[in-house]
């Protein structure tokens, strides 16, 4: 996969601002999705979100990635990645009907644990002890939120955890796309 040749490299303040803006957008997206679950199905919310996001994604992809952003060398990989994305998002939005936004969000933070386990144990990636320690501590934090075995445990709490597992496969599936494709291609096809 090709990486963009520009960005915030060498400009840490710009990188920090971009990261803060991205997190703010994701937080607003989740809060809006939570509010919309009162009257709409998760599939409708996902469809509406992508219909709104697609023109912006196409414009950004074309400006920053050029026409190559629309070219895919492995469309089947993008189709599978899209299915994973839809599944993860529908599960996450469904959890909003039953859980507080903060709880659902805290529970999906188990994704780094799943990514590390899958990549380290099944894909043969080398994972150092510090990374293992960090993800185990994070996983313990998620267990504190879930409270398995406790009187307050709700089986619906497993839905964001399942979301995190599907999301982990989505993140690792970037390996399936052709290395000639840019990050903009991945973004455009995931939004479409």
Domain count, the chain: 1
Q: Would you state the pLDDT for residue 8?
A: 58
* Tokens 């267990």, residue located: 143
Provide the 8-state DSSP code for 68. Answer: G
User: Does residue 7 fall inside a structural domain?
Assistant: no
pLDDT the model gives residue 43: 96
What is the predicted pLDDT for the residue at 1? 56
Question: Domain span at residue 113?
Answer: 12-191
Measured CA to CA, the distance from residue 84 to residue 88 in angstroms comes to 6
Residue 168 has a CB neighbour count (10 Å cut-off) of: 22
- Tokens 């995931």 sit on residue: 190
Cα–Cα distance for residue pair 34/11, rounded to 1 Å: 35
In a domain, 3, yes or no: no
Sequence-ordered list of residues with C-beta below 8 angstroms from that of 18, at least 6 positions apart, any chain: 8
Task: Flag residues of the chain having pLDDT under 50.
Answer: none
Does any domain span residue 135?
A: yes
Please list, residue by residue across 69-92, b when 16 or more beta carbons sit within 10 angstroms of its beta carbon and e when fewer do.
beebeeeebbebbbebbbbbbbbb
Closest CA to 163 of 94, 97, 78: 94
Integer Cα distance of 144 and 146 in angstroms: 6
Quote the Cα angle for 10-11-12, to 5°: 105
Residue 155: its pLDDT value, please?
86
SS3 102: helix
Is 22 within the bounds of a domain?
yes
Whole-number average pLDDT of the chain: 89
Look at residue 113 and tell me if it is in a domain. yes
Is 99 inside any structural domain?
yes
- Here the tokens at position 26 are 């994701």
Asked if the structure places residue 6 within a domain, the reply is no
- Write down the pLDDT at residue 150: 66
* 4 within domain boundaries: no
pTM equals 0.84
Contact 191, 85 (CB under 8 A): no
């Amino acid at each position: 996969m090709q990486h963009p040749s520009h960005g915030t490299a060498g400009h840490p303040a710009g990188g920090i601002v971009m990261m803060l803006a991205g997190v703010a957008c994701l937080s607003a997206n989740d809060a809006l999705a939570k509010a919309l679950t009162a009257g709409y199905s998760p599939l409708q919310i996902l469809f509406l979100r992508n219909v709104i996001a697609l023109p912006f994604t196409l414009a950004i992809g074309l400006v920053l990635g050029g026409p190559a952003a629309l070219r895919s060398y492995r469309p089947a990989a993008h189709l599978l990645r899209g299915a994973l994305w839809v599944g993860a998002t529908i599960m996450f939005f469904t959890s909003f009907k039953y859980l507080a936004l903060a709880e659902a969000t805290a529970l999906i933070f188990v994704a780094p644990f799943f990514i590390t386990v899958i990549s380290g144990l099944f894909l043969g990636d080398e994972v150092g002890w510090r990374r293992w320690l960090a993800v185990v501590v994070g996983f313990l934090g998620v267990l504190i939120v879930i409270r398995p075995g406790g009187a307050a445990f709700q089986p619906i709490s497993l839905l964001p955890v399942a979301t995190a597992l599907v999301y982990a496969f989505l993140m690792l599936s970037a390996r399936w796309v052709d290395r000639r494709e840019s990050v903009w291609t991945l973004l455009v096809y995931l939004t479409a």
